[in-house]
Amino acid sequence: MSYVKGLKCRECAREYPKEPLYVCEYCFGPLEVNYDYERIKKKLTRQLIESRPKNLWRYRELLPIDGEATDGLNSGFTPLVRAKNLEKVLGVKKLYIKDDSVNHPTLSFKDRVVAVALSKAKEFGFHTVACASTGNLANSVAAQAAVANLKRYIFIPADLEMGKVVGTLIYHPVLIAVDGNYDQVNRLCSEIATRYKWAFVNINIRPYYAEGSKTYGYEIAEQLGWQTPKHIIVPCAGGSLITKILKGLKEFQKLGLIDRVNSKIYAAQATGCAPIVTAVKENSEIIKPVKPNTIAKSLAIGNPADGIYAVDTVKKTAGWAEDVSDEEIVEAIKLLAETEGIFTETAGGVTLGVTKKLIEQGRIPKDESIVVCITGNGLKTQEAIIAKIGKPIKIKPSISSFEENVKNK
Ligand SMILES: *Cc1c(COP(=O)(O)O)cnc(C)c1O
Ligand SMILES: [Zn+2]
């Protein structure tokens, strides 16, 4: 049974049917899924959610499919870790890591959006799925489409990390490495999407796909005991996740599942690609596209599709935005590993680096609850840190060599 009324333009509120549409034909605004919250409110309770399997479909009434979920049945419900060691280092009272570096099956938050996108693509009758990706989306579409027996075409910028390329090829998609940056890949894919009857998860079925990100926000609230934290720091690429975390929390509030949301939401980007952060700092209504140059390739979108909504999310919640250099990203990756035993990718380094900066600036008070969004896994971006973590000590297989080189050194 479906609780989806249809699609609705974010700008002019014009309504559209449940179809693979993504842009308003009158004002070119993006379309968004519109739910029947009255009916959802009658059905969805904390108890019902808690009684369900620990995956992202436990919130299924708030996800845009009509039938049964068919994909990502083990995705989501990742750990929310209380980070005691990190609290000491940063001098704060209550800090949590929402850890999607261990999401199933491809170790990033993209497993959430792809689970929803593929379930929806099948309802629409597509046999081929595709995406334009900065890496993690490629991994997840390739893996989940393999399970779903869908044909898969994946487009990436040619300079991606080896871990992201291998972590895509292994699922045997058609992988196309485009000689250009993500924004060029995305433009090409938009053209291809108009010509071929494929479900481009982040283009023509983007309104449905993007709803999957809400589950990251739902889980933060549920795992905190149906409460919201005072501060949430979110990494931004296209600006969708940050927007949907707030949407998810507001929906929970509207349904009476949590009290009034008063979380401040912060956007985190790398200095080498910070169009959203720049717009927040300059209090600008428009996003100035940039040419990305950073080790945080998963966040390297110079012209973010949901950039203005990301800025709006920060403003509405009285949050802020900050960026960090590539060196600060590496330092933050190491800090998270050494304190909490979590190996995150460059995007996670951005988020923690920005969190540290905001605390040092006094923007985030030390005695209020903080959730840091860790969205991807460090094994995929080893190039970024390999030269900066030391080397193993080489010894001969003898006790004397051990003592000479390790114990008595
Ligand atoms: C895609 C991605 C993001 C940001 O996603 P948007 O919704 O495009 O802003 C954050 N972290 C990681 C690891 C990602 O792969
Ligand atoms: Zn419109």
Whole-number pLDDT of residue 407: 87
Identify the residues whose C-beta falls under 6 Å from ligand 1: 108-110, 136, 235-241, 298-299, 345, 347, 375-376
Distance between Cα 298 and ligand 1 center (Å): 6
For Cα atoms 201, 203, 209, give the angle at the middle one, nearest 5 degrees. Answer: 45
**Main-chain phi, psi angles of 407, to 5 degrees:** -70, -45
Q: Could you identify the atom of ligand 1 that is nearest to the CA of residue 213? A: 7
72-91: per-residue pLDDT in tens?
Answer: 999 999 999 999 999 999 99
Whole-number pLDDT of residue 226: 98
Q: Which residues of the chain have pLDDT under 70?
A: 1
Q: Could you identify the atom of ligand 1 that is nearest to the CA of residue 298? A: 15
**What is the rounded distance in angstroms from the CA atom of residue 99 to the CA atom of residue 212?**
16
Q: Is residue 390 part of a domain?
A: no
Q: Is residue 346 part of a domain?
A: yes
CATH number of the domain that residue 223 is part of: 3.40.50.1100
Q: Is residue 96 part of a domain?
A: yes
Q: Which ligand is in closest contact with the Cα of 237?
A: 1
Distance between Cα 34 and ligand 2 center (Å): 14
Kindly provide the residue ranges of all beta strands, DSSP E only, lying in 297-395, ordered along the sequence.
Answer: 321-324, 370-374
Q: Is residue 62 part of a domain?
A: no
Contacts of 335 by beta carbon, 8 Å cutoff, 6+ apart:
86, 89, 352, 356
Q: Is residue 221 part of a domain?
A: yes
- Which of helix, strand or coil describes residue 147? helix
Q: Which ligand is in closest contact with the Cα of 161?
A: 1
Whole-number pLDDT of residue 73: 96
Q: Which ligand is in closest contact with the Cα of 245?
A: 1
Q: Is residue 151 part of a domain?
A: no
382-402: per-residue pLDDT in tens?
Answer: 999 999 999 999 999 999 999
Q: Is the dihedral of CA 373, 379, 383, 389 positive or negative?
A: positive
Helix (H) or strand (E) holding 339: helix 326-340
Domain count, the chain: 1
Distance between Cα 29 and ligand 2 center (Å): 5
Distance between Cα 30 and ligand 2 center (Å): 7
Residue nearest to atom 8 of ligand 1 (CA): 238
339, exposed or middle or buried, with CB in 10 Å at 0-12, 13-18, 19+?
middle
Residue 186, token pair as written in the block: 């995305």
Whole-number pLDDT of residue 408: 82
Q: Tokens 């739910």 belong to which residue?
A: 35
* pTM across the whole model: 0.97
Q: Is residue 404 part of a domain?
A: no
202-252: per-residue pLDDT in tens?
Answer: 999 999 999 999 999 999 999 999 999 999 999 999 999 999 999 999 999
Distance between Cα 263 and ligand 2 center (Å): 29
Q: Is residue 44 part of a domain?
A: no
89-116: per-residue pLDDT in tens?
Answer: 999 999 999 999 999 999 999 999 999 9
- Find the Cα–Cα–Cα–Cα dihedral 324, 327, 332, 338, rounded to 10°: 180
Q: Which ligand is in closest contact with the Cα of 32?
A: 2
Domain of residue 349 covers 80-106+211-384
Distance between Cα 241 and ligand 1 center (Å): 7
Count, residues in the chain: 409
